[in-house]
Amino acid sequence: MKENFKGFGEVRVEVAGIPYCLECFPRIRAGKRLNKLVWTFSIIFGIPIGILLIMAAMTNQNTSFVMCGLLIALGWAAGYGLAWLFIKLPARVLLKKRIIEPVDAWLIKEEKKDKREGISVVLSIPNKQYAQKFALANGVQMP
């Protein structure tokens, strides 16, 4: 990962070595592919829904450009909801032994307790069993 932060410049962090076992790795890849599919279909469904909402709103002459942008965003959100409901939810229910949500990581800039600015790496591990094993391996107590 890399990101530019004002005052720090470009920060580059490698989050390599998240230890997936041979059994979990294909399930993680399937989860990533499922997420890409949902995002793709959310755009495919969302843009036409947004355009339809704009066309419906254009019957009112007071519709502004900002309103059109909000309607496109609303259409995309509706498209994402439909893709999640009709693609991701059934896949997760029917293929729950074959799909695991992938680990996600990102960088955030924050003020530390001693009032200095710093950058933290945040890991999100949606699989509870995997998160517990990862926490145990790193000496962290989970609530």
Q: Please choose, from the candidates 141, 107, 102, 137, the residue with its C-alpha nearest in 3D space to the C-alpha of residue 122.
A: 107
pTM given for the model: 0.64
Task: Dump pLDDT digits (tens) for 39-91.
Answer: 999 999 899 998 888 888 777 777 666 677 888 889 999 999 999 999 999 99
Lookup result for tokens 């390599």: 16
Q: Please choose, from the candidates 140, 137, 107, the residue with its C-alpha nearest in 3D space to the C-alpha of residue 121.
A: 107
Largest CA distance in the chain: 62
pLDDT at 140: 76
Average pLDDT over residues 20-32: 80
Q: Please choose, from the candidates 87, 96, 115, 119, the residue with its C-alpha nearest in 3D space to the C-alpha of residue 106.
A: 119
Count of residues for the chain? 143
β-strand partners of 12:
2
